[in-house]
Amino acid sequence: MSSQQPVRIEQGQLSGVDRGGVTAFLGVPYAASPVGDARFRPPAAHQGWSGVRATDRPGPSVPQLPSRLEAVMGSRKPDWDEDGCLNLNVWAPTAALTDGRPRPVLVWFHGGGFSSGSGGWDWYDGARLAEAGDIVVVTANYRLHALGYLWLPEIGANNLGAQDQGAALRWVADNIAAFGGDRTTVTVGGQSAGAFSALALALDPATGPLLRRIIVQSGPWGLAPESQQTARQTATRYLDILGIDRNGDVGAALRAVPVADLMDGYAALARPGAIAPPMFPVLGGAGYPVTWSDALAELGDKQVLIGRTEHEITAFRAGSLPPDAPELAEETEQLFGAGIDRITRARAEAGVPAHVYRFTRTSQAAPALGSPHCAELPFFFDNLDAYPDAPMLGPVTDADRELACSFSSAAADFVATGLDNDPNWPVYRPGNGEYIFPVG
């Protein structure tokens, strides 16, 4: 059922969908379609529409191949289209649309190895989070794989996925008041590649001032941004795979290639067994002026909620060893854990201690996974029923539903208050191993 009063933003009017205590606005374009001559160029402003635009269903995903984590998370039916893929979704407490009291805002970016995912999937439906904390929740798409991270700055291909994320944040700053959101109290969040992105957005001088808090889940902190030299070499191999003359008009040639062929070419770059994707953010490019480890002081007084799962790496090494095997524990620590320790210590030294969690719940359907990468997502969003085929979740109990409610409520409370005075979520103290809040 549509909301009775359309919401007016810069581009035009929107009609939302009444979800009880929350109104959803799905598939809202935040930038022009990156097609034709706009492919491999920075995001451009959307020119708007006439009349009232219905936002009763998610927009298309960014073109992508199946996720390499389907065996852990479950499969998705392809729903992509390059035309219209730069869209976002807003869930606002219905009262916020009319009562004049601005609510805190969470802008959350999905993971997927910079190669897959969509903010419009029901996995990341923000209705329960919005209701749990009386906050406004936004999820957004950004360009992936070669469309988002091919490194050819001379044709405009310069960390385009990161530029999309920045454009989404600026759209929020310009428009979120229309949904009852407070542009001065914005948290950026994300999981995996989305966490890596969220921290970069908080550290980048171009976007950091738009943010107050950060939620970073299972960030691959051991993965340094790609060097420009390596990214250039990968781009050269990619052009060769596609059969594009590197001495000709490369931009025009790439913009003429069918998007399915672009994805197949990207897949041909994959390295068996590698955690890092073939293309990802490039150091010194847009959104990544320096490494996160060299820029932590730039967080200033921003509050941080950070965490990981107990057995992150089993999602990528499923069945190779028991989840508690020392080799897997060491790999999890190197890629995910050590960075958490560095970030939280830096926050404590700056006088802004972080809140830290460790997700430990194990699926009855796949005990060999332990608590793998992505396992906390159904609980963070309190969307357990959206994962019917996910081995990482398995059968759901009443205790699981209570856990989902408490975890999502804590996340929403962080967005709203920073968990400043919550005794159940202690802040990090150097040398005190009790700072980790176990979830699961």
Domains, the chain: 7-227+278-359+409-439 (3.40.50.1820)
The per-type count for the chain, helices as H runs and strands as E runs, is 12, 13
Identify the CA nearest to 351 among candidates 416, 428, 422.
428
> Angle at CA 122, nearest 5°, toward 45 and 92?
60
pLDDT digits (tens, 9 = 90+) for 380-401: 999 999 999 999 999 999 999 9
For CA atoms 369, 264, 84, 172, the dihedral sign is positive
373 belongs to the catalytic site: yes
Residue 434: pLDDT above 70? no
- 249-270 burial string, b = 16+ CB within 10 Å, else e? ebbebbbebebeebbebbeebe
CB 439 within 8 A of CB 360: yes
- With tokens 């089993």, the residue in question is 314
Residue 374: pLDDT above 70? yes
User: What pLDDT was estimated at residue 423?
Assistant: 75
Helix (H) or strand (E) segment spanning residue 398: helix 398-417
Query: Which one from 110, 145, 311, 373 is the annotated catalytic residue?
Result: 373
Residue type, position 336, single letter: F
CA 421 to chain centre: 27
Q: What is the CA radius of gyration of the chain?
A: 21
Residues near 4 by beta carbon (within 8 Å), at least 6 away in sequence: none
116 belongs to the catalytic site: no
CA distance 15 to 325: 52
Model confidence at 105, in pLDDT bands (50, 70, 90)? very high
Find the range with the poorest average confidence among 2-6, 33-37, 295-299: 2-6
Q: Averaged over 290-297, what is the pLDDT? A: 95
Residue 132: pLDDT above 70? yes
> Angle at CA 206, nearest 5°, toward 198 and 276?
40
Residue type, position 384, single letter: L
Helix (H) or strand (E) segment spanning residue 415: helix 398-417
Residue 435: pLDDT above 70? no
For the chain, percent of residues with pLDDT exceeding 90 = 91
Residues near 241 by beta carbon (within 8 Å), at least 6 away in sequence: 265, 268, 269
Residue 153: pLDDT above 80? yes
Residue 5: pLDDT above 50? yes
pLDDT digits (tens, 9 = 90+) for 268-284: 999 888 899 999 999 99
DSSP state of 319: T
Q: Averaged over 321-343, what is the pLDDT? A: 94
Residue 430: pLDDT above 70? no
Residue 60, by phi and psi: left (phi above 0), alpha (psi -120 to 50) or beta? Answer: beta
Question: What value does the mean pLDDT of the chain take?
Answer: 94
- Residue 140 corresponds to which tokens in the numbers above? 């957004």
User: What pLDDT was estimated at residue 320?
Assistant: 80
Residues near 137 by beta carbon (within 8 Å), at least 6 away in sequence: 90, 91, 105, 106, 108, 126, 127, 129, 130
Residue 1: pLDDT above 50? no
Find the range with the poorest average confidence among 69-78, 166-175, 238-247, 313-322: 313-322
Q: Averaged over 85-96, what is the pLDDT? A: 98
Query: Which one from 33, 61, 115, 192 is the annotated catalytic residue?
Result: 192
Angle (deg, nearest 10), helices 160-175 and 193-203:
70
pTM to 2 decimal places: 0.97
Model confidence at 285, in pLDDT bands (50, 70, 90)? very high
131 belongs to the catalytic site: no
Q: Averaged over 98-119, what is the pLDDT? A: 97
Query: Which one from 82, 131, 310, 312 is the annotated catalytic residue?
Result: 312
Model confidence at 421, in pLDDT bands (50, 70, 90)? confident
User: What pLDDT was estimated at residue 3?
Assistant: 53
pLDDT digits (tens, 9 = 90+) for 214-232: 999 999 999 989 999 999 9
* Strands of 103-109's sheet in order across: 17-18, 22-29, 87-93, 136-140, 103-109, 181-191, 213-217, 303-309, 355-359, 436-439
Q: Averaged over 62-66, what is the pLDDT? A: 97
